[in-house]
Amino acid sequence: MSTSIKYIGLTNYANALNIQEQTHQDVLNGASDSIMVCEHPHVFTFGKSANKNNLLVDENLLKKINATIHQIDRGGDITYHGPGQLVCYPIINLRKWGIGVKKYVEILEESIISTLKHFNIDAYQIKHLTGIWVGDKPQIPRKIGAIGIRIKQGVSMHGFALNINTNLDYFNYINPCGITDKQVTSIRQEDTQCTLNEFSDKFIEIFLKSWESIKM
């Protein structure tokens, strides 16, 4: 059974979450695995282990910057989503395929890194820090992508966010993922030209190729 791809465009977070939850139920009921691809208007989301002090602005400023807040059930702390950022939600029946959480996250990370490599950006992981990083390791690394997932009844939810041409100023309003001593960046900030659609298409190609290879 092939994986379905859902391109839902610029969609408010609550609506995307509803679509994600319905798709999750469909996959549980035997539908094919699915990957949702979208962008969100300005929103900050708190994961299950979030420290509310990592939001650095009050309600009045949130209104001025046209941002909303959502408490959700993924792992991790606070993160930002906004226009120009690729958000990808793979909804995959890991239990059906006999794939563990650690291996699933590994495939996600390696697929993102390989996609960045395709666009001439060298990326890597940092031990004990989630996400995808670029820059010289001896210097201050820059975070280009965040990962936060949940496995519910053996089926994955949530996923990753990758900064394409995101307004990085919004990260100044939070401690991203609870981290205070690292920078954030985007594909544009790294002087590379790539559209959201180009990146998502290449990521899906690489991810599905890796996924199919371990299912065989």
Mean pLDDT rounded to a whole number for the chain: 90
Helix axes 101-118, 196-215, angle to 10 degrees: 140
The average pLDDT across 8-32 equals 95
Q: Are strands 43-46 and 68-71 parallel, antiparallel or unpaired?
A: parallel
| Strands annotated E in 11-103 | 34-39, 43-46, 68-71, 78-81, 85-91
Q: Do 63 and 164 form a contact (C-beta atoms < 8 A)?
A: no
> What are the two backbone dihedrals, phi and then psi, of residue 173, each rounded to the nearest 5 degrees?
-90, 0
pTM (2 d.p.): 0.92
List all residues 6 or more positions away from 152 whose beta carbon is below 8 Å from its beta carbon: 24, 73
170-190 per-position pLDDT tens digit: 988 877 666 666 789 999 999
Give yes or no for residue 95 having a pLDDT over 70: yes
Length of the chain: 216
**Does the structural domain 4-215 have CATH classification 3.30.930.10?**
yes
User: Which sequence spans correspond to the domains of the chain?
Assistant: 4-215
List all residues 6 or more positions away from 122 whose beta carbon is below 8 Å from its beta carbon: 116, 134
The average pLDDT across 53-57 equals 82
Residues recognised as catalytic? 177
188-206 per-position pLDDT tens digit: 999 899 999 999 999 999 9
The average pLDDT across 46-62 equals 81
